[in-house]
Chain A
Amino acid sequence: MVGLKVNEASGRIQKFKLEYKDEGVWKTALSGTTLGEKYEKSFLRATSKVWRLNILEATEGPTMLIRLTHLPPTGSGFPLKPVMFPSARV
């Protein structure tokens, strides 16, 4: 199982794709607009080990924060990992 948790608290992401690599080609697993604070998606039959969060459109802002986490097979989740995007510094 492959899953993803995203916490995009600032709401600056306007358009994104979650992609996986299949025989060297990026394919779209899903696409969307905003993610919000508790976005979570699991792909039970996914076999690809290479994944990409492709942010296609985002409003600029120094405080944009997303949290991106790969879910473990147990589904319990490990601690959310903060990722700054774009240009956010602490």
Chain B
Amino acid sequence: MKTSSPRARLFCRIVRPWSSEESAHVAACADCQRFFAASRSLESGLRRDASRLASEPDAGFEQRLLNAVRRAEAAPAREESSWHRSGLWLAGAALAAVACGVFVIQRESGKLGQTEIAGGATAADAAVIVDAVQSLSDRLVETVIPSAGAMVADNPLQRELDSLQTDARSALRFLAMNFLPTAPAAGAQPRSG
């Protein structure tokens, strides 16, 4: 303590207890004694003035507060329900977006290279695309709603979600059957590569 400044000495006390040597210095040092006396006075003044500054709510506030809490009692169930609903909407939106994407891709592909694709694609290709789209949609659902599976498990809404997925798959199959190229006609050249 002999060489350090008062500021450094005081700061030391923040991060570690004083050693016996430092305590002995403080006990004997007039400057330190003045500082700590001022600090104690400040702290007691802050405690005293805090009670004078106390701000009270008005008389009816507690009742309003309790009423607000009571009104909130039903809120968690509503929030959960709306979350489930929004989850289903997100799942539906994701599947619809995928279906639209497939539709647009097919249309554009048809415009750009209809003969090549129509001549080269097979039913097996279509099935692969449908499977890929379904896999992508499942991944999308899992990504958009991270806990969707757990959330709807053992829940009546699960059936609704399953039904929605079934509908979406049916729609995808319909799109694939109607807009994806069919098996090559007899005599058509097989696709190279």
Q: Is the pairing of A and B real?
A: no
